[in-house]
Structure 1
Amino acid sequence: MSERSKASGGKLRQEIARLGAQLEISERRCAAMIEVARNLTAVADIDELLRLVAERVTSLMEADRSTIFLLDKERRELWSKVAQGEGMQEIRLPVERGLAGWVARHGRTLNLRDAYADERFNPEIDRHSGYRTRSVLSAPLRGKSGEVLGVVQTLNKRRGYFSIEDERLLEAICSQVAVAIENTQLVLGLLARNIELVEAQEQLARRVRELDALANLERIAAAAVHIDEMLERLLRQTVELLGCQAGSIVLLDEQGQELVFAGAVGGRAEQVKRLRLRRGSGVAGWVAENGRSALVSDPAGDPRHLTALEDELDFPVRNILAVPLGAGGENIGALELLNKVEGRFDEEDEKLATLIAGQAHSAIMTWRQREEREKENRLSSIGQMLSGVIHDFRTPMTIISGYVQLMALENDEQKRHRQSEVILRQFDFINNMTRELLAFARGESQLLLHKIYTNQFLEQMRELLERELEPAGIELELQDNYQGPLRADENKLRRAVFNLARNARQAMPAGGHFQVRVDDGGDRVLFTFADNGPGIPESIRHRLFNSFVSAGKQEGTGLGLAIVRKIAEEHGGSITLDCRAGQGATFRLELPKRMEDTT
């Protein structure tokens, strides 16, 4: 074989070896690219994704280390949580500086054999870390729209420098990584939005529960007939809603010196209701005094907690939530909740308890104002009633005075006995009116219903009415067309008849005619009182039955007809007027025949 053939054969073997080495490198790089693609599709966490990509790039590039930077547009920074080689650290670089910043700004690959020879290189990181950068290959990460997402930077080729093939390989890797990053960011964005949606749904559900609870508390407050009942129902609902063992409402007493437990539920509730505490004592007292909420996770270590009271009640306290009853105004007390069943009281519990405390404060103030109005109304009514009683005292006192004078002149013992019975009945009448007034002052109002026969009632009234009317020259006529029973308060019915008779007498000072007629009205008894006086002036007819309305009569007080209307309404009846100018006045009193005993 010639020398020339031998030389050609040697070159061929070298070329085959070279091509074989390149093929091996290419196969290794293809395998690594396949593994990178597999990792990109299998990893959903972006930090793990960046770490794996950095490892594979370092291996493929036969480099010392690699870093993947992502672009933070708002802060105009490149950041990375992954750095291969000596360790892992977070790096944040301004996009206006350094090689990676230049690649991010211009969107072009940068391949340097000597980084320190390039003015764009920032040596501060090397000085800070102690690392020596030689060769650098940086390529941009571009999204589907061509927008730069970040930069992949690999440092220090172990043998020689980064080649054109290395640039193409890194750019290919960057295109895959960019897609994976965009997909991962999309998935993470969707997950974040889903988490936000779930949290919003949970907050909405919690808000709905709170609104339902507040609406239920509003119904409880409206339905309760007494403040104690309302507070106990409110506390039970609150304890159930917040999942705790006990609750109480403490209020300042009228003197503002002590705290009283207006309501309590849960552990030792009956004992707690009997307690009175010095103002400002305990967690609840501190809250009531300062108008600020208190979340106490360790009562034993809180100086405000009444440890001695806890021992006395034998009720261990693990945690406390107390909120003021103030609703932005003057604090009247506190709502205190004890022992959250699961975990501890938190800020959400505090917000809900504050809303409930506002409801409780409004309900308590409404009850107090209602009681105050009732007291004022009762005092006013007592005054009006006292005026009516004094007004009606005149009739029995006049009768008593007249019969006492007759008795003084009468020698017949039997007549004196009858006159004394009349006087005694008038004293009974006075006593009944006095008892009625005292009962009303105690908040009681009742009718003493008895079966009354109208014929007997009118006969008993005849003598008394004649003594009222005869001195004024008024003729009395009694006519009973019913002669049956009804259930009524006899004393009050007598007062009504007297007032209507007196009203007629005052209207006819020169004499006249007064008729009392009783008729059957089906389920009602109709009393008609008619006179032939001048009638009622039209100007006062629409308010005739109001208190202190009078037509200018010399002895009139304006109470008589108001008393008659009150008596009629108490019996479930009515009083009406039929009047024509110059033709007298006719009053019609209608009462039901049968009434259940009413208190």
Structure 2
Amino acid sequence: MSGEEAAPTKKKRKGTKDERLKRSQILLDVTRRCASLANIQDVWKELVGMTSYELDCDRSTLFLNDNETNELFSFVAQGNLTREIRILNDSGIAGHVFQTGQSMLSDDPYEDPLFNREVDQRTGYTTRNIACVPVITMAGEKIGVMQTLNKRVGEFNEADLDLLEQMTTQAAVVLQGLQHFEQIDKIRQKENAFLKLMSDINSEFELSRMLMRVVQEITGMLTSERATIFMFDQSSGTLFSRVSAGGEINEIRFPSHLGIAGEVFTSGKSMNIPHAYADLRFNPSFDKQTGFFTRSILCVPIVNNDNETIGVTQVLNKKGGVFSYEDEQRLKAFTAQISISLQNSKLFDDVQRIKNYNESMLQSMSNGVLTVDPKGDVVTCNAAALNIWGTGEGDLIGKNLRDLVGEEEQWVLEQIEQVKKENHPQLITDTAFTLLGTSKTVNLTLMPLVAAEEDKELGSMIMFEDISSEKRMKSTMSRYMDPVIAAQMMDGDAHEVLGGVSAEATVMFTDVRGFTTITEEYGAQGTVSFLNDYFSLMVDCITKEGGMLDKFIGDAIMACFGLPIPHEDDPDRAMRASIGMIQTLWGWNQARLDKGLKTVDMGIGLNTDMVVSGNIGSPKRMDYTLIGDGVNLAARLESACKSYAARILVSDSTVQKLKGTYRMRAADLVVVKGKTQPVKIYEVLDYHDQVSFPNLMDVVNLFNDGIEAYQVANWDKAIERFNHCLKLNPTDQLSQIYVDRCEFLKSNPPEKEWDGVWVMTSK
């Protein structure tokens, strides 16, 4: 460890003969005891203990200088301070002594402007007096500082200072020698580990395992907290990593020009950042997401033999300081050695990923697929092919297609040869085909397989689409009824489905608002086109939640959740579908506005009850539908949306069965047309955002208070609550309706005792 030349010190006192003999004995003890120790930590402890004893003080601290960081550091000190301390080598009394090379005494440190109170503040220790000397080798080289604190009796004097200087000088040679030895040993260990690592890396092809091993070694080699290797994906223009030391194996991707890693990748130049948050190029969002705190960064490019940058290596948080120039050079050398292995592993990974993708795509196809080589032997087959022909892989793979097809299907072999000759696919529809003695009616597609070099033949692919009578009938029936019902009928449950079933279900009715204007302006063709677009969007929302479309009634939709297949959360499915329909309609309206077209609104009614489902009609014309009071109430609620200026109204029976939480408010206790018993209804508001309905939850709470006052005929309180709602959201039409209703009831009190029930006179 290099240092600075010491400044001349003042003349030392000679002392008496006995004192000189005693001092000589002390210095011999320092030399003997320090020289007998094998590592620097033990010398550190021994020297601190001896100085504390000989100077009769509370504690001593030995600071050595770190030339790379210009810091004084200590690993061991007496007392309760056992962790590492680092201070700048020009800070405080210790820094002053190191810089000047002159010893000093301080009898009142807190009055000394050089004294650094930071350590005392961290440890709670009180410093009364200090003796501090530079640690100087026989060659006059400064390598650190020895500091003693709080002499137990009296104050430190010049004799103490002189003794401390001589003791540290005696130990300096041993300290410096051990430092050099440890540095050499660390270098040797690093080189051995590096050679072993390179041997392991060169034998690994799987990218994820290779990256994991590499980042583990880099983390240890540079004594850092975390390391990440980002490889460049040319197809997407991104940098990606699949493993990060200290974290889970997750793929991270980002554009190859962003952040510190992106800067290094695009420039091809290394970056050593000692303080990450002080650098504007650093993106702290990753720290916020992971909870990790980045202090220092070392990032170098990974360059292949063609001088192309194929990725970057990023190392974070050097333990005990910042990354040095030596760290940077070691990392560059390391990445240069592993670049070829990384590139080979990435190529292997790309090939494996493409292979897995192709196999996954093949297995997920609903049509059967066989591939044969140029000789006609079957190479691959997917699950659908095995299912169609009712066989296993062992019966097909490796067998010649000529032996697998029937005598009457030898024409297929001729067609395959023709396809290979013309290098053009051929589709043969609705044909009988026999394989392994099993006949099927299929659509047959024959395709040539050609390598990137077009003159190299790989074989052929045969694709089967099963169009047996059951499949064709199901496809035909699905055009005229719900696909779920058609599937149940084809599976043998037709009598149960069509004969009549009574079950609990959530019924939905919807209707378009403003449809009359559309029909008047658009004419017949425009109206039909409008309805087709509208119904396509709405039906998608229904089927997405597992609902069954019952029928279209003009511009209205009738749907059901819970029939023919019930779910545990059918009311929630109906609720989510309704909310999705409103939000989808708003998006569609915006698109229509952008094109200069008119917009529409809609109303939705939901009710959960027992309903009867079945095939109803005459022998010549029947229709699968739902009937019952529950159906009628859902229709009445949809109509009531107009009276309550609402988009979604649901009955209490639906609300009571909801498992999820939705933003809604009690709209009324009402007797609908055709009923005698009141029904509690709710307005659903969950499709709103802060823009479409400001202060929504505040309005809901005030509105519910207003409803409670309204139901007990407290008209003034109710009016005050509803008016407050209007102040928070002036567009809340339902609050205005209740203000008007309360004003009317206040001026025209009900003849009978008020029960809070409102009777509707129209549908």
Q: TM-score, normalised by structure 2?
A: 0.26
More helix, by proportion: 1
User: Quick check: which has more Rg, 1 or 2?
Assistant: 1
More strand, by proportion: 2
- Larger RCO (alpha carbons 8 Å, 6+ apart): 1
